[in-house]
Structure 1
């Protein structure tokens, strides 16, 4: 055993626990000596014994307070051995001299000697030397007195020897047990320290992870705002262009722009939802979707990239057209297919990539959708087909292509979130065939975006928006719905304009200079309460649409939230609601 600070601390603590009973025994013997003999005997015993125990207490306290000090164990060991030898020797000499002075007190003296043997043997011992120092002097004292008193009685001498040996044997077992107890205590202390260290490290790692997560959230919020702002303009202009008659070729280009912008928006939403997908806390957003049309849009958007790589893209749909019109999460479905397609493009040197969609009716209103993306790349070894769907796991080919190993893990989370299954097999003729199946509910049709129908009555709308292109877009969209539009550039101007009481609705951006939207909303609500003005409907129009952001807007007094890019149907719904009020 290598003694360390924990051993020093453990034995020092056990010595402290021993002091009360030892000091009481010293006081008891001193009082007995005073009663049976005289004060000189009592004073002699008390002074020497209390003095020795004072030395022992000092050494124990030094060791207890500085157990890590170099040489602490050796110092405590030899000094406690010396004090133990001194205590046992003095007590043994005291009883021997008392017997010689007062032979008539033999029964009392023998009892004291036996008690001294037991107490000394059973006290704390750091070493074998300490144990020997505690038992040898009283054993010699008992033997000396016994030989002189009953030297001619062999039976009594034998009984005395057996008694002494029995006490020593029992005390030795107790010393071993004490040693084991200390070892268990030290082991427990070390393990507890390791556990505390591990807990401290875990807390530090958790704090670092939380800080990283907060940083990620701030980064995603910033990216959301910065990307959604120009995307809002693009998609808004596409909607405006779609409502004007134009040649078929131009209309097709506008539709392609809308498809590409919508796909980008869905990918952005998927990226913003990544943390919740990874934790399994993201809820699917189910809505009527024409999956066949979705596959066709993917083909139109990606066909140019496929042709640039010298590949061929084929898209097949198997099943009745009405079975592809279902209620599902279009963003998740699209994200998985695009991820499969992107991987196929990276790993296919030449040949054809085939996307297949199958709609299999399973119940009266149920459909089982199966999607397959087959490439002509190196394929996936059978023993690796489960592993690649784990986070940060990928094949050497994927790593060489620059993948991070997260795409397929997110795909798996998306599919399982829809109650489906995902996997990969070998493709006919070589390559890999990635597939997934999801259950869905058939619907009668897909609701189209709101038309240019005006609200119930013309509205006067105040819009606060700091981005010039977004202000132009808002004017175009709102005027199409017959609204009279007033535009301001920041929250302070919105507060000033709202005091005129001439508006039916305020659309408020959040991130603006001078005064942001939330601060402006708080001022407006306070002034309404203080001046008794009617409550002005305020809808936040923002790219920051995390759940905690939306909750903050509503708590600040907003009537609702419209997210950027502006959804025409949602904007029309707000105007209709306000117009009907």
Structure 2
């Protein structure tokens, strides 16, 4: 019902509701108007049999009239059409069998009409199962009565009553009216129901079309976003590659102490800018669920010290006391995991601690927590004496592009993505970040991470081997595909430190021509070039007839850092890739591994 109705309600509109189906509304209407029709007919019968002094029929008509009034009142108060339908059928069955076996002691046209009404009403109102039950409940006893009467064996003490022709006419007329009304009413209801289903079907088709269009727009939007990020990534990272790369080259040239300081500042600022770019790209990867965690050997102490070493400068510039405490047991272990992602988590936490602390201390702690077999658990804590966080905002600070307040954003700056990335990276590894904070007192962020312990290998020997191999690169035949003059200059300067004299191609087509003419030990392939891109060039090289040329190792050098770049590179037939700006030692190691594998 639309609302709670009064006991004295008699309006149909008050007991109908939009929540009801068209069929249920039709059932309620049938009962409502049906009671009026039957009530008028029963009242007429009551008057007729009363003046004919038919006591039993008068009592029956009177009981029926009162029952109709009670059921009608119940309908307009509670509108429980199922209970009322059962009550109507039970009353009709009792009256029908009473007339056949007691009052009239015969089966006439009125009896047949009542049975038809019971069949129609029960099936339409309460369904097939109950319809069959009430139909048989009325039909079977009547058939039994007919069989008994046929043999002349039916006899009871009461004398059957008889009614005049006017009463019979009233009964037949009322029954026909009810039969026609029930058929007409439900036929209209079924038509409306079919019409509504058709309209709903048409609306569903329209909604499906709109949904498909929305999905297509969303996919297009996602594709445009990915293309935009790829373009922006390439355009921003390309000059950053030159800045960071030239800083590395100049630092490798043994500069004066004052020059080292200037170069460190330059490199530090460029790396900070790169961190912002990476945050945007990494968040895109994380949201797409495409982050792949590496499993490489690393020294945890070195990772923590490298992060803290770069951040310590910022802390000291603000006059903060910067304290790092690393469990001595961790220095003796080589772990297996993703040092890049771990470094990213720690960098964001430490950077945030420094940003939001104006005076006091910054603590970074890495402690050996427990050991299980060949795995160890390390607990990381980053604590500060900064502005703190209101308890009500502890959840919102982990949302992307969100800081505690607009005032915080204006005062301290930042993109608001750092903690969002930290939380997502931990969640993807099944880990949880714990935060405790008090406004004006500071905050503490902590998490625990499990690492397998690698077999001990002398890292000094590894570095010496890599260095020795680098010194033997002077005979390496290298082809570089790069169209950016600044990057070409950078690569030449960097490779000269390793005594490599590369051949330069300025587009993909040029690469193929040079690969056909000469033999190369390795190819460094830029991906976005004029005439022909790096992907197509790599595929063409793999189709060369000379097996030696076709199998030349190819490393993609790309300023794009989208989540599917690795899959695209490998699909094009390239062996590996290095993202710009790259670490010289990373490129050197990949060159060494690929060349060694071929030779």
Q: In the alignment, what sits opposite 1:543?
A: 559
The verdict on how the C-alpha distance between 1:376 and 1:561 changes in structure 2, with shifts beyond 3 A counting, is closer
Q: Write out per-residue CA displacement over residues 26-53 of structure 1, whole angstroms, 9 at most, x where no aligned residue.
A: xxxxxxxxxxxxxxxxxxxxxxxxxxxx
The verdict on how the C-alpha distance between 1:431 and 1:285 changes in structure 2, with shifts beyond 3 A counting, is same
Distance in 2 (CA, whole Å) between partners of 1:339 and 1:167 is 85
The verdict on how the C-alpha distance between 1:391 and 1:461 changes in structure 2, with shifts beyond 3 A counting, is closer
Q: In the alignment, what sits opposite 1:495?
A: 512
Contact 2:251 / 2:260 at 8 angstroms: preserved in 1?
Answer: yes
The verdict on how the C-alpha distance between 1:193 and 1:301 changes in structure 2, with shifts beyond 3 A counting, is farther
Distance in 2 (CA, whole Å) between partners of 1:264 and 1:361 is 37
Whether 2:344 is the aligned partner of 1:327: answer: no
- Displacement of 1:356 after TM fit? 2.6
- Displacement of 1:279 after TM fit? 3.9
1:214 to 220, 223, 226: 223
2:426 to 390, 398, 415: 415
Distance in 1 (CA, whole Å) between partners of 2:194 and 2:215 is 30
2:450 to 439, 445, 459: 439
Distance in 2 (CA, whole Å) between partners of 1:383 and 1:469 is 50
Q: In the alignment, what sits opposite 2:361?
A: 352
- Displacement of 1:216 after TM fit? 2.0
Q: In the alignment, what sits opposite 1:508?
A: 525
Distance in 2 (CA, whole Å) between partners of 1:292 and 1:242 is 24
Contact 1:352 / 1:376 at 8 angstroms: preserved in 2?
Answer: yes
Aligned residues between the structures: 435
- Displacement of 1:422 after TM fit? 0.2
2:346 to 330, 334, 337: 337
2:488 to 466, 471, 489: 471
- Displacement of 1:169 after TM fit? 0.7
The verdict on how the C-alpha distance between 1:292 and 1:564 changes in structure 2, with shifts beyond 3 A counting, is same
The verdict on how the C-alpha distance between 1:159 and 1:285 changes in structure 2, with shifts beyond 3 A counting, is same
- Displacement of 1:463 after TM fit? 1.6
Distance in 2 (CA, whole Å) between partners of 1:510 and 1:175 is 75
Distance in 2 (CA, whole Å) between partners of 1:398 and 1:193 is 52
Contact 1:270 / 1:332 at 8 angstroms: preserved in 2?
Answer: no
Distance in 1 (CA, whole Å) between partners of 2:458 and 2:185 is 83
Distance in 2 (CA, whole Å) between partners of 1:278 and 1:494 is 36
- Displacement of 1:424 after TM fit? 1.0
The correspondence of residues 83-94 of structure 1 with structure 2, limited to 5 A, is none
Indicate the SS of the match to 1:451.
Answer: helix
Contact 1:365 / 1:442 at 8 angstroms: preserved in 2?
Answer: yes
Q: In the alignment, what sits opposite 1:167?
A: 176
Contact 2:387 / 2:440 at 8 angstroms: preserved in 1?
Answer: no
547-556 or 326-335, larger mean C-alpha shift: 547-556
The verdict on how the C-alpha distance between 1:538 and 1:333 changes in structure 2, with shifts beyond 3 A counting, is closer
The verdict on how the C-alpha distance between 1:446 and 1:570 changes in structure 2, with shifts beyond 3 A counting, is farther
Q: In the alignment, what sits opposite 1:424?
A: 435
Indicate the SS of the match to 1:280.
Answer: coil
Indicate the SS of the match to 1:335.
Answer: helix
Whether 2:235 is the aligned partner of 1:226: answer: yes
Q: In the alignment, what sits opposite 1:176?
A: 185
The verdict on how the C-alpha distance between 1:576 and 1:355 changes in structure 2, with shifts beyond 3 A counting, is closer
Distance in 1 (CA, whole Å) between partners of 2:248 and 2:580 is 14
- Displacement of 1:520 after TM fit? 3.6
Q: In the alignment, what sits opposite 1:144?
A: none
Indicate the SS of the match to 1:211.
Answer: helix
TM-score (normalised: structure 1)? 0.62
Whether 2:581 is the aligned partner of 1:565: answer: yes
Whether 2:318 is the aligned partner of 1:296: answer: no
The verdict on how the C-alpha distance between 1:435 and 1:486 changes in structure 2, with shifts beyond 3 A counting, is same
Contact 2:483 / 2:505 at 8 angstroms: preserved in 1?
Answer: yes
Q: In the alignment, what sits opposite 1:109?
A: none
Distance in 2 (CA, whole Å) between partners of 1:299 and 1:485 is 37
Distance in 2 (CA, whole Å) between partners of 1:456 and 1:409 is 43
Distance in 2 (CA, whole Å) between partners of 1:301 and 1:336 is 14
The verdict on how the C-alpha distance between 1:322 and 1:377 changes in structure 2, with shifts beyond 3 A counting, is closer
Contact 2:386 / 2:440 at 8 angstroms: preserved in 1?
Answer: no
Unaligned runs of 5+ in 2: 1-12, 14-21, 23-112, 122-161
Indicate the SS of the match to 2:367.
Answer: strand
Distance in 1 (CA, whole Å) between partners of 2:333 and 2:260 is 25
416-425 or 184-193, larger mean C-alpha shift: 184-193
Indicate the SS of the match to 1:409.
Answer: helix
Distance in 2 (CA, whole Å) between partners of 1:216 and 1:446 is 45
The verdict on how the C-alpha distance between 1:366 and 1:265 changes in structure 2, with shifts beyond 3 A counting, is farther
Contact 1:267 / 1:331 at 8 angstroms: preserved in 2?
Answer: no
Contact 2:381 / 2:447 at 8 angstroms: preserved in 1?
Answer: yes
Distance in 2 (CA, whole Å) between partners of 1:452 and 1:259 is 29
Q: In the alignment, what sits opposite 2:324?
A: 315
- Displacement of 1:302 after TM fit? 2.6
Distance in 1 (CA, whole Å) between partners of 2:415 and 2:581 is 29
Distance in 1 (CA, whole Å) between partners of 2:302 and 2:582 is 22
Contact 2:336 / 2:452 at 8 angstroms: preserved in 1?
Answer: yes
Structure 1 consecutive aligned stretches of length 4 or more whose deviation exceeds 6 Å: 246-264
- Displacement of 1:465 after TM fit? 1.3
2:478 to 440, 450, 461: 461
TM-score (normalised: structure 2)? 0.60
- Displacement of 1:199 after TM fit? 4.5
